[in-house]
Structure 1
Amino acid sequence: MSKPSQKWYSIRARAVSAAAAAALAAGGTAATSAEIFIYGDIGESWWGESVTAADFVKEVAALNVDELTVRINSFGGSVSDGIAIYNALKRHRAAVTVSIDGTAMSIASLIAMAGDTVEMAENAILMIHAPWVYASGNAVALREVADYLDTWSQAMSNSYAAKTGRAADDMLALLTDGVDHYYTAEQALAEKFIDSVTTAMPIAASHDLSRFRAIPAAAAAFNLKEKHMPHPNPAAAAPAPAAPADPAAQAAQAEAVARGVQAEAQRRTDIRAAFASFAAREGVADLMAACEGDTQCSVQSAREKLLAHLGKEGTPVAGNIVTVEDEQDKFRAAATEAILARAAARDDKGSPVRANAANPLRGYKLLDLARACLVRAGVKVDGMGQMEIVAAAFTQSTSDFPILLENTMHKTLQQAYALAPDTWSRFCAIGSVSDFRAHPRYRVGSLGNLDVINELGEFKNKTIPDGEKATITAGTRGNIINLSRQMIINDDLGAFVGVASMLGRAAKRTIEAAVYARLAENSGAGPTLDDGLALFHANHKNIAAAAAAPAVASFDAGRVQMAQQKDVSGNDYLDLRPAIWLGPIGIGGTARVTNDAQYDPDTANKLQKPNLVRGLVRDIIDTPRLSGTAWYFFADPAEAPAMEVAFLDGAQDPYLELQNGFDVDGARYKVRIDFGVAGIDYRGAHMNAGA
């Protein structure tokens, strides 16, 4: 059974005062005014109202007055009707004052923006949210509905922007984030939605709030027993909102509203406090705004959402476990920084490490750090000797001392490794292996060109060619260093920071030496491949026919020979080009002149003949690790790798492990790196025996 129609507004002309009547009688003019009450659901809506805005617009247009007061107590309704009402009020010649008596929610809040002056009772509520609608249909129809709602949001944003003076995009954000944004009178004034706050007004009844997803306590206080707000009596000469007959009930209601407003303000304050420490993190500001705007979001729920957001920046260990830096992590980081600064260590860029002025451990000696670690672990150190303090710092299960020393050494090791120069990475490919077994490297054959189809249209079967295989195996290199109690007491930073730095450089040199040792195998012909031949071999057609020093002719001959290499199946040319020159340091200068000279350095008249091989290679590596006169061309290792260095699980940096020693009066630190070197394909390399 349908609900009978009910007007959600009433319009009344105000009585002319005696003074105004006298002025009119004397031939003068007097301002005339009217009062409009929007008390109920607006327009034709799902909530039962069937009186449209067309009636309202006609009645307002007919008002020949100078002043209009629009009183609002509505939870919204039809968006299209609300926009029509807004426009009707904006274009009326009268000065429009809007008074929010109780609630101005949804489209009712937009109507309120039509006032030249907007005032709001101190216990009233303003709410802004995205337009929404019930819809059904297929995907196409629902997409059209979504576009329709976006259009309304865009139109509404302009009205809010016009009132507040803020950008339309800022207002559009309130209409597209899916959150109901509630404002007390004080908050609405701060956001410039209104111009002033008036004395609190008692509210007699309210609407059904079930349509809204989230209602704050301040708004819920209005939701009494009645389902619809009673309208003022149109016959009354001086209308006013109905008040509860019982003063006690009125006072209780006002108190409930005040408590609700206070609770909402406190909720927002607590959420902002919880987010304050992480405000600079990406996305935190947006999440905080969403939690504040969602009145159903408690402070605890907001904290959980923040923790989940921060967890996205870390790596889960098991399930949704989030690691956030705690006081212990900060202590270890400060101690590590203090030790590195005192040891004059370098960072990854080669700059000296300096302790932050705010670092509380700045200037601490190793013994001071050992004592601080014990105190943090709850150990009383009063009366303990230096040896006892150091011994306890190493053996106390909850002491941070061994860990912070390990962190310091590991960081020093990594930095020294990163800064140490190498040449192998410039001409070798870098790979990964999962264990210490031999790992294959396959090169797939090609099908060759497509066959011509005969006159019968017959297609021939093509045999899938076999490929080639190379293998690479990783091994372990490492050492153990010991850190004694005496070194700690003597504050011997060089004993472990300096040694760790040397071990980092040694790890980088270890790989460098291993690569050149493989290249030196078979009298400089390189490692043996899986075909039983050396990397450089006459059968591989990658050795120069005429041995020669670096020169234009020998460079060009090497270029031609490399370009003529064919794929695994011998079907087509690979057309490779040299990218790196490698040779002994004694002939590196000659190689640079040959590669960089504008004119041919080998001709008598250098101004007459351009250098045919100028810029042939992008990188020239000369090293004392090679001796004799032989030199090499390598193609780009990313295109045609000839040699590969593979690391266990792809870990290219050395690894440090700690073990409290029993046979050493202190601790033992083991440094290791797992890698292997192998020749994998001869086609991307060329050798000249030199002269």
Structure 2
Amino acid sequence: MTKRNALFLACAAALATAPLAAPRDRQDRPHIEPQMTLRPCAADDSAYELLIYGDIGDSWWGESVTAQSVAEQLNGLADTVATINVRINSYGGSVADGLAIYNALKRHKATKAVTIDGVAMSSASLIAMAGDTVSMPPTSILMIHAPWGGCWGNAKEMRQYADVLDKFSDSMADAYVKKSGKAKDDILSLLKDGEDHYYTGEEAVAEGFADAVTNDDDGNDSPDENARAYANQLLERISARGAPAKYAGMVVTAALRGAPNTSTTTTPTPGGVNPAGARPAPSAPNPPAAPAATPPVDTGSDPSGAIPMTEEEKKAAAKAALAADKARREAIRNQFAPFVARTDLDVAALQNLQRECEDDSDTTPEAAGQRLLAMLGKDTTPTGGPRAEPGTQDETATYRDGAILSLLHRKDPQAFKHDEKSQQFRGMNLLDHGRDCLERAGRKTRGLSRQEIAVQALQSTSDFPHILEAVITRSLRRAYEASERTFVPWTRQATLPDFRQVSRAQLAGAPSLKRVVEGAEYEFGTIGDGAEKYAVQKYGRIVAITWEVIINDDMDALTRIPEMFGASAADLESDIVYGILNANPNMADGNALFSAAHGNLGNPAAALIDAVSLDPTVGNPLAAMRAAMLLQKGAEGRYITVRPKYLLVPPGLEEAALKVTNAAIVAARGSDVNVVGPTLTPITEPRLHDGSATAWYGAADPSRVDTIEYAYLEGHEGVFTETRQGFEVDGVQVKCRHVFGAKAIDWRGLFKNAGGTPSPFPGTP
């Protein structure tokens, strides 16, 4: 053997992932041959099933028969095939093969429905992205990472090979981008950071890599020696790469669920190619004659000629197996934890069942959960508080709803009455809730100080932060909705899609209708672009709930402070709207909102109370306002018939406004009656006092003509909150966010009178 060939084999051995965990020679070790089968699954040949199990590509040497076979078989399908059901259980392999299979599937016009039976890792996850729909059973796993491989040569050649790997990453990224809708930079960060990114079904759906988590979780219920070897090999491979403990047990469960057993393994036919289109791996590799880089592969490849495990590898495999079993046991304990303290259940039976599930290495967390649900539904009868029945109500949601209502009841017993969900929390303070949430999540609190319990409850993944967030949000929203906003009746609400300025066309600017004589064509009318422009603005503050609040059981900090923020958000809206009336800003035509040019500014010498005065020398200011608004003309110079509907006054004029709008207020002579005032609805607003103590306003019906328009950002009507675990403080930070804007759209629907000293009634001294 030449030195160069010896170096090549040494590099290959170093780059190869560890063989199976079982200490046996390779010839006695079960081997999962790649399976690529395409078979009809409908009587009319309208649907086919494509099975992709095992490694993607046979080896690092030579062309992949599997990829070629898939492409040829797909090309040979009849035009009547409308659906291809792709089922995947693979820990990856050749990137080139993965890209070829992905592109072959994407080119085919049939609908591709991908199901990840067990695992879709590395290049297998790339193939999954070809699906029009991607479904994942609860016990399946998706893993995405960077392509890797090895080469030998000088420094320049190795740098060039690194560039080749980056090119493969770029090609792979497009597939993940098209499926998830994520930015390419975000996907490239997954493919170039050197980490393995694992996703459960729910996590994959949340990231856009899958479309649904299916309820059908039927798998290989009786895994044989072949399937177990497959799972053990997978565990060893991912453990060697530092897979998080959270996923180790789940990956093995997924592999066992979908691993092909001996009854389904295809036997190779003479000639080297089996009916599934897979070729047995060569017994020994043939090194290349000249220096060359090996094709890029991911962690899924198991090159032929792998050497037996060393003692260190055996120890590492044993350690990984123990870690996986530890993770499996912990996951099972977490499922039982919420029920072990229930007084309405047989605790001894629950503990026995938990012990059985933990001690049986074949019992996965999912299987333990099914056994637990079966026991709860069959052998127990609730005797007290609420309990989630299997298939009827989510236990976590029930627990949270009850805790939230209990805390709100403590704050306001009249508004929030206890129900069956919250009864179990009666008498509990904030620290009690934190301790209960920690213990429910499987965390032990015995021996912890009050401070430690508070800090852990606030920073944990238990229900406690969610409960606090909900209490804060409801308190804030309730105060916001309860705050008086007097501008709502006489203004118009809108929704804006973003923070950019919008132009508003005035209702008074609609074109006049013109006569159409017989046989003539209709003329086009135009509405000019809106001249009045405005945009919404973002406002906000942060509320911090610290561990001191929990220890001190400070309900005011938990509810009163958010209520103050909610009321503040409502007050902000009123400040902005009434600030427009007080400021009298210029409109798009260059004239002030209330001006003689707009014909909506009354005689300031007349006081509001003069509306019921019988002094013939004093005009009725309400009648003058009514006449001025009726005489308003639209953009085309025609009357638009606008009448005032609301009378807006500062607090100093409230009594006068109530009098002049009351039909019972009449003059001394019975022949005179109050005819204008009763048609108006009085609105008293203290913010108007900042502009003038004597000025009053009229406003038309906003559905008839524009007045002031106020708007929220689309999807953010009202005040909203976001929560995160605090960094600046030891606790939870709740951000109050409010997006709001307002603008006077048309002066024709508004009127102002600066007011004056009221004239004495006749006969008074």
Superposition TM-score, scaled by structure 1 size? 0.48
Superposition TM-score, scaled by structure 2 size? 0.44
> Could you say which structure has the greater relative contact order, defined with CA pairs below 8 angstroms and 6 or more residues apart?
2
